[in-house]
Structure 1
Amino acid sequence: MKTRNETFDVVVCGGGLAGFCAAVSAARNGAKTAIIQDRPVFGGNSSSEVRVTTHGSAAFHAYARETGIISELLIEERARNHEEINENGWTNSVWDMTMYDMAIRTSNLEVFLNTTVQGVNKADNRTIESVVCHVLNAEVELTIKGKVFIDCTGDGIVADRSGCEWRFGEEAHEEFNEPHAPEKASENVMGSSIHFKAVDMGRPVPYKAPSWIKNYEDASFFYKQGRPLEHTGHKENDRYRGGYWWLEIGIPWDTIYENEDIRHELTRHTLGVWDWIKNKDPELKEIAKNYALEWIGQVPGKRESRRIMGRYLMTEHDPLNKKVFEDEVAFGGWNVDLHAPGGLLASSSEPAAMEGYKVVSEFQRATLCGPYGIPLNMMISKDIDNLMMAGRNVSATHAALGTVRVMGTTAIMGQGVGTAAAVSVNLDLKLPEVADNYIDTVKQKLLRDGCFLLNNKNEDENDIARKAKVTASSEAKCVGVGPNTQGVHEGLRFWKTQHQTSKTDKLMQRRGQWIAVGNDKIKTLSVCLTNHSDEIQHVQAKVVTVEDIWDYSVDGSEELADTTLEVTPGENKWISWSVQLNTSNGLPKSGYIRLDLLENENVEWHRAGKIEPGHVCAFDIGNRMRRYDHGISMSYKVEPAQRCFSAENILSGFTRPYRSTNLWRSDEKSPDAPWIELSWDEVMSISQVELTFPGNILREYHAYESFYRDPQCAKDYSISAWVNGEWKEILQVNDNYQRQRKHKLNSTVHTDRLRLTIHATNGDPSAAVYEIRCY
């Protein structure tokens, strides 16, 4: 056995999405970083070995997709990859190589694949000195020293070997009074899954199962116990080609020590399910007759094991009540998704599946949450001063883990701790000091690196763009959208999920449309309705103020107006309301109002043919609203047109729709190449320009097709500076599709005017920008 010693500033153990984003973030922020991964590829459960595609907040909330490093990766993967997305079993090696490429190109980052952590050396009771690793297939013992260690191993191996306190299983209800905690504590944890993929061979293909599989003979196991034999493909029959999340087993096996037993049992059951589909189910065997099993996973995707206790313990109350944390470094928005203990061995599946993924139910009302903030202190060990964790092993109760465990969320948690680790190293601080006294530094770095925080905006004192005046070649105004309004949505599809509403747009429940305000008055609001009856129908309408696009309170903050609309029989009728709102009777100067139409099952409120940026809709599920459909706009008109896409929006400090659109859009009818300009009262010295374009945040990753490039994103653009009385081009970029771009200029430019010109987008007739920063 050879021995080898290495020394780094930050040592990240675990190369799933949490660990990967932690390592890249630490390295990009100046820390010499190592990432140790016990598999040959990065990605953990998202890799081609396990093939669970990345879920996150945008599954439930429009414009809530995670940004930062995970966004950069997913945008790149969609632009490169020929493969379409299904929920489970479809990830291919293009994703693996997208991650590997980023890791290799990242300065300050050294990669240790096929390397497993086996031990920990401590300098004292509260400090880790090094981790001892074994390089698989190389007979090398590797000792890696570090200043800060980040445990992203899932099972909390580093924390456990360091003697940290951890929890395992369910807390009793009486401990924290959590709504979904059981009466008695137990060691029940969510189980692990493997997935499969099948392909259409174009001719009948037989399947003969091995003798050792689990034989399924009872259709009720699937159809009456919440294990639907369908899936999330957008083409007919795609549902039989991959899956399923409920191929899950945990207890009575221990998810840590008996992982191999779980793998074998999952293989038995998975092949048994495929045997049922191919040979036993009367309907499915005919539908699937041409399908052959192409791939079956042999690395279980684990949901839960140890949860390491941090300086803060998140309980279920925090996400449900959207608690505001001073040390917020990430956000979540998945529901409280707790799988039935035992998985396939349980008497039934989890509640959402058992009720057929209803969008309106008591279970949905009780489990929907967010978007909510995630604090740094739940990712700093309470027992070791130089240890953090990110991923499913963070300091949360079992119930709270039900929402923070999904990979989109764990990825931005990883970026949060990676950034904090770099601050710790660069300022020579212990991690508790960073959380207590330098949290604003961490948050501002995260925002600069493309992340989104609910309760913080760009306040970077070094960003000289914040001191500028902003003008533009033109500005789009919001006049509304109708059923026939044309939008540029190629490649953005509806993904079949449980998180959509009914197939009809009839007013089965109260429904609300957010409208961004940009004038000091609104005279008239109009909606496009169809009365499907033979009689005049009446629909009550209200206008309320809302705090942001995720304000799901039924009555909003304040009611501004109320009326009853009269709808005569017929199709596609524009019904107008002289609402006469202004700043003196409650209309906000900026932000959003919400136009609500109350229930009338005879009347259909038509969806728009275009998604108006930043304009979302929701519907009442019983004393609260939730997103309507996948993130669309309803048909409405507003008069006068609202100036909600103004140039100065790029200095709002937010880089997505939130409390306003926060977006500059050019007038698509303007004949000139669109530009936006920063000007200062004095000459500034600029060496770096950073841009954030729109795109890739409206819906979850699954909605974006292969080779996708968001039409809203700038494709070709240039930056020019006013030098010696004329415009001088200092940068030109072609064929861009990334949301955030950072450009270090060849030399420092001294100017009092800087202009970004967008020569082409990836399809949208309007140019658009969320933010420009200058350093």
Structure 2
Amino acid sequence: MGSKRTERYDVVVCGGGLAGFCAAVAAARQGASVCIVQERPVFGGNSSSEIRVTPHGTAQFHAYARETGIISELLVEERAANHEKVRENGWTNSVWDMTMYNMAVSTPNLTFRLNTTVTDVVMDGPREIRAVKARVAGAETELTIEGKVFIDSTGDGVVADRAGCESRWGTESRAEFGEPHAPLQASGATMGSSIHFRAKDMGRPVPFRAPEWAVKHEDPAYFYKQGRHFYDLVSGYWWIEIGVPWNTIYDNEDIRHELTRHTLGIWDWIKNRDPELKEKAAHYALDWIGQVPGKRESRRIIGRYFMTEHDPANRTVFPDEIAYGGWFIDLHTAGGLLAPTAEPSSAEGYSETSEYAVKSYCGPYGIPLRIMLPKDVDNLMTAGRNVSVSHAALGTVRVMATTALMGQAAGTAAAIALRDGIAFADLPDARIKDVQQQLLRDGCFLPNVRNEDPADLARTARAEAGSAELVYGAGPDSRDRTGGFRPIAALEEVPEPLTERRGQWIAVGADEIRAISVCLSNGTGSDQTVEAVLQPVDHIWDYRAEAHPPLASATLVVPPGRKRWIEWPVGLRASEGLVSGRYVRLDLKANPNVEWHMAGTVLPGHVSAFEMGGGRMRRYRDGGTLSFRIEPPQPAYGASNVLSGVARPYDYTNVWRSDPAQPLPQWVGLQWETPRRIGRVELSFPGHLFREYHGYPPFYRDPQCPEEYAIEAYANGQWQELVRVSGNYRQRRGHDIPGGVDATRLRVVVYATNGDPSAAVAEIRCYGS
């Protein structure tokens, strides 16, 4: 007969991928009782060790755009603990599973049900869910899980579908929304599912014999002329993908079997058939093949807003912004391995300047809460790839780090709605500022929202510091201070001809720029000229080549020779439009006979880009700093940055950094005219932002992050140490002050970092007892 149980919670989250997991943790942290129902034995969905797709996100294409919040907490912990490097696919191990499991176990108010599949929905009228029915695998147990609100993060929209919500499937026609990526005719075609493999170097020749039922490959053109690249022999390939003619939900088992046949056939091609690859793979043995297909697309649940590709492409500003994205509009060819070519960008060799690349590059852009509010059910939210978007828009919002942000927003919004007795439909108008401010307080970033938390006592203070770093610039011979997080390829000296317009963001902290110098090479036998332009920009992702009228322009003469510093006496002052506390961008226009060299280090917040076409720019190489010098040196890392309301480089550097020439300890602090009662201090540190997760080595601890620090308060005429922390590598820390303290000053003293000679803090928040 089995066991039957009924359980009751405030919030029920269905689906334990990154979106559902972040939703559950966020709601629980806000005080709601939460149950997360996950049909697999581990959390993580496509990112788990069962499927092994490593999380991608906005920082793959935009410097300093890595997702923060719960997903960042997880990734920082995983890198600090994991002995293996991050590979594209197939390499995820159980350290990641246990990182998520540990957070779930350690989160108060959170209950989880693993190996548990949602089978049905119990409605309370046509517009409200009362409970979900679920079955625990291998336990002969049926659960009825009642809740006040529900979050569908199943990917397939199982709960929403059972509840009667309208959904879309397949591809819209171009005529419906005028989307550039949409085909002329609508169809039921979806992006496919993938499985991955892992191979191991055995140190000796290892044979491989494919079973008879494996796919046999004989034609090299299938791989080399159709965009199926063998970029790494030890990990799987995203292009081992199949969808059409199968249905990604109902035919999931058929897809799994077909993918297994193809994977074995591809490994057979590598080991036994390809003349070059079989030599490289001679010592490799097939170590693991996934047997859970990782899905990209199925149902999309229609919400109170329907997002099309015009929104990310045009960076629509939504009043109910609760997350952001920035992956390109990445639409895999329907059919995958059965189609004539792989995903279009791959098929054209990942060109950064093709017509397809120009129309596909987007972001960072805001995401509205309304795409997660199904229009047909009042106490249901969605989070993940099942949100209310077109097929084309799904190409960018579907990547896991982006869905994790949506999940945290959903969990936060659900808890706030319950706390305040607000209907989901009213959240975008009645409580959106509360949701946004809570997300910022919890470490998230929103492109169009700043810290305006009225409870944050730091906002009434004045910032001060013992010292602050100046921006002098950096050159090709500057020492890399990133502690090895930059890929070796980013540090290699390669030819860098100015084949296109290139730009370098420079933070302005003074009321004048007397001169700027750039390090250029001229390999010809005669003088070359380069047109230079200095113009204001809105932020570090303002990719418009000519967004504003230039502040200054000049023609630079570059004599023959290597690495010459060419000076431009700009002579620009505030009276001529220079604004302190903002960025300017130094652009050099194209001259392929001239090289502009990268700096040997990254100056925090100083990024670079190049014109990709159509008056649009994109990140240059890894987005690091191009060689420049500036006079006078700019005070761009002052104490006031900890109160800017933004905890990362964006519209300015938004970080305090101490003078690296002065020894640690160094401090930054706050001062009030009258005492404030402080019961909690919350800190954001720099680091873990510049590159995507894939760029960080095993056991990584960001050098910019303080390793040892203290919080001190000035009370009763003396400094008192309230908190002392050592061994830190986390980007965000919150500290309760037992009993509170009445203080006119508070400071953070950094005694040691994880490698950076400068102490650094991005944000300080203070709250009452």
Please state which band the TM-score falls in when normalised by the shorter chain.
over 0.9
1:55-102 Cα deviation digits (max 9, x unpaired): 000011000000000000000000000010110001100000000000
- Take 2:346 and 2:463, find their aligned partners in 1: how far apart are those partners? 51
- Take 1:94 and 1:27, find their aligned partners in 2: how far apart are those partners? 23
* 1:571 and 2:562 aligned: yes
- Take 2:486 and 2:470, find their aligned partners in 1: how far apart are those partners? 26
- Take 1:672 and 1:608, find their aligned partners in 2: how far apart are those partners? 26
Contact 1:359-1:501 within 8 A present in 2 as well: no
The AA in structure 2 aligned to 1:524 is A
1:535-588 Cα deviation digits (max 9, x unpaired): 111111111111100000011322111111111111111110000111111111
For 1:613, the equivalent position in structure 2 comes to 604
The AA in structure 2 aligned to 1:557 is H
Could you say what secondary structure the match of 1:23 adopts? Answer: helix
- Take 1:525 and 1:474, find their aligned partners in 2: how far apart are those partners? 25
Q: CA deviation at 1:604?
A: 1.0
Aligned counterpart for 2:757 among listed residues 757, 761, 765: 765
- Take 2:186 and 2:571, find their aligned partners in 1: how far apart are those partners? 57
- Take 2:287 and 2:664, find their aligned partners in 1: how far apart are those partners? 52
Q: CA deviation at 1:487?
A: 2.4
For 1:676, the equivalent position in structure 2 comes to 668
- Take 1:127 and 1:329, find their aligned partners in 2: how far apart are those partners? 24
Q: How does 1:135-150 map to 2 (within 5 A)?
A: 135-150=136-151
- Take 1:432 and 1:389, find their aligned partners in 2: how far apart are those partners? 13
Could you say what secondary structure the match of 1:272 adopts? Answer: helix
For 2:502, the equivalent position in structure 1 comes to 511
Could you say what secondary structure the match of 1:85 adopts? Answer: coil
1:446-493 Cα deviation digits (max 9, x unpaired): 000000001100000000011011110001111111111112223313
For 1:339, the equivalent position in structure 2 comes to 332
Q: Judging changes above 3 Å, is the alpha-carbon distance between structure 1 residues 112 and 473 closer, same or farther for their aligned structure 2 residues?
A: same
Q: Judging changes above 3 Å, is the alpha-carbon distance between structure 1 residues 502 and 487 closer, same or farther for their aligned structure 2 residues?
A: closer
- Take 2:529 and 2:317, find their aligned partners in 1: how far apart are those partners? 41
* 1:359 and 2:360 aligned: no
For 2:155, the equivalent position in structure 1 comes to 154
Could you say what secondary structure the match of 1:644 adopts? Answer: coil
Could you say what secondary structure the match of 1:255 adopts? Answer: coil
For 1:644, the equivalent position in structure 2 comes to 636
The AA in structure 2 aligned to 1:607 is M
- Take 2:230 and 2:629, find their aligned partners in 1: how far apart are those partners? 43
Q: Judging changes above 3 Å, is the alpha-carbon distance between structure 1 residues 672 and 258 closer, same or farther for their aligned structure 2 residues?
A: closer
- Take 2:421 and 2:391, find their aligned partners in 1: how far apart are those partners? 34
Q: How does 1:10-159 map to 2 (within 5 A)?
A: 10-159=11-160
Q: CA deviation at 1:496?
A: 7.8
Contact 2:498-2:593 within 8 A present in 1 as well: yes
Contact 1:8-1:146 within 8 A present in 2 as well: yes
Aligned counterpart for 2:526 among listed residues 522, 535, 542: 535
For 2:264, the equivalent position in structure 1 comes to 271
Q: How does 1:707-746 map to 2 (within 5 A)?
A: 707-746=699-738
Contact 1:477-1:642 within 8 A present in 2 as well: yes
The AA in structure 2 aligned to 1:344 is L
For 2:548, the equivalent position in structure 1 comes to 557
- Take 1:509 and 1:42, find their aligned partners in 2: how far apart are those partners? 45
Q: CA deviation at 1:755?
A: 1.2
Could you say what secondary structure the match of 1:711 adopts? Answer: coil
Could you say what secondary structure the match of 1:146 adopts? Answer: strand
For 1:317, the equivalent position in structure 2 comes to 310
For 2:205, the equivalent position in structure 1 comes to 204
- Take 1:544 and 1:674, find their aligned partners in 2: how far apart are those partners? 34
1:668-722 Cα deviation digits (max 9, x unpaired): 1124510011111111111100000000010111000000000000110001111
- Take 1:412 and 1:463, find their aligned partners in 2: how far apart are those partners? 23
Contact 1:647-1:676 within 8 A present in 2 as well: yes
Aligned counterpart for 2:467 among listed residues 474, 478, 487: 474
Q: How does 1:170-569 map to 2 (within 5 A)?
A: 170-230=171-231, 239-494=232-487, 504-569=495-560
**Which aligned segments of 4 or more residues in structure 1 are displaced greater than 6 angstroms?**
none
Q: Judging changes above 3 Å, is the alpha-carbon distance between structure 1 residues 303 and 420 closer, same or farther for their aligned structure 2 residues?
A: same
Q: CA deviation at 1:351?
A: 1.3
Could you say what secondary structure the match of 1:602 adopts? Answer: strand
Aligned counterpart for 1:686 among listed residues 663, 678, 688: 678
Contact 1:191-1:255 within 8 A present in 2 as well: yes
For 1:233, the equivalent position in structure 2 comes to none
1:629-672 Cα deviation digits (max 9, x unpaired): 01210000010011110101111000111111111100011245
Contact 2:682-2:764 within 8 A present in 1 as well: yes
1:121-167 Cα deviation digits (max 9, x unpaired): 01111110000100110011101111110000000000000000000
Q: Judging changes above 3 Å, is the alpha-carbon distance between structure 1 residues 726 and 501 closer, same or farther for their aligned structure 2 residues?
A: closer
Q: Judging changes above 3 Å, is the alpha-carbon distance between structure 1 residues 501 and 272 closer, same or farther for their aligned structure 2 residues?
A: farther
Q: CA deviation at 1:333?
A: 0.2
- Take 2:743 and 2:643, find their aligned partners in 1: how far apart are those partners? 19
* 1:748 and 2:749 aligned: no
- Take 1:503 and 1:376, find their aligned partners in 2: how far apart are those partners? 44
Q: Judging changes above 3 Å, is the alpha-carbon distance between structure 1 residues 224 and 672 closer, same or farther for their aligned structure 2 residues?
A: closer
- Take 1:350 and 1:751, find their aligned partners in 2: how far apart are those partners? 59
Could you say what secondary structure the match of 1:347 adopts? Answer: coil
The AA in structure 2 aligned to 1:333 is G
Contact 1:665-1:769 within 8 A present in 2 as well: yes
For 1:604, the equivalent position in structure 2 comes to 595
Contact 1:501-1:629 within 8 A present in 2 as well: no
For 1:234, the equivalent position in structure 2 comes to none
Could you say what secondary structure the match of 2:514 adopts? Answer: strand
Q: Judging changes above 3 Å, is the alpha-carbon distance between structure 1 residues 355 and 672 closer, same or farther for their aligned structure 2 residues?
A: closer
- Take 1:690 and 1:198, find their aligned partners in 2: how far apart are those partners? 44
Contact 1:310-1:395 within 8 A present in 2 as well: yes
1:21-49 Cα deviation digits (max 9, x unpaired): 00000000111111000000000000000
Q: Judging changes above 3 Å, is the alpha-carbon distance between structure 1 residues 145 and 501 closer, same or farther for their aligned structure 2 residues?
A: farther
- Take 1:133 and 1:611, find their aligned partners in 2: how far apart are those partners? 51
Contact 2:664-2:751 within 8 A present in 1 as well: no
RMSD: 1.2
Instruction: Give me the TM-score of the superposition, normalised by structure 1.
Output: 0.98
Which deviates more from structure 2 when the two are superposed, residues 284-293 or residues 424-433?
424-433
Q: CA deviation at 1:199?
A: 0.9
Could you say what secondary structure the match of 1:242 adopts? Answer: coil
Q: Judging changes above 3 Å, is the alpha-carbon distance between structure 1 residues 307 and 545 closer, same or farther for their aligned structure 2 residues?
A: same
The AA in structure 1 aligned to 2:589 is L
Which deviates more from structure 2 when the two are superposed, residues 156-165 or residues 421-430?
421-430
- Take 1:698 and 1:32, find their aligned partners in 2: how far apart are those partners? 35
Q: Unpaired runs of 5+ in structure 2? A: none
- Take 2:311 and 2:281, find their aligned partners in 1: how far apart are those partners? 45
- Take 1:513 and 1:66, find their aligned partners in 2: how far apart are those partners? 23
Could you say what secondary structure the match of 1:425 adopts? Answer: helix
- Take 2:150 and 2:449, find their aligned partners in 1: how far apart are those partners? 27
Contact 2:312-2:363 within 8 A present in 1 as well: yes
Contact 1:195-1:242 within 8 A present in 2 as well: yes
Could you say what secondary structure the match of 2:569 adopts? Answer: strand
Q: Judging changes above 3 Å, is the alpha-carbon distance between structure 1 residues 495 and 393 closer, same or farther for their aligned structure 2 residues?
A: farther
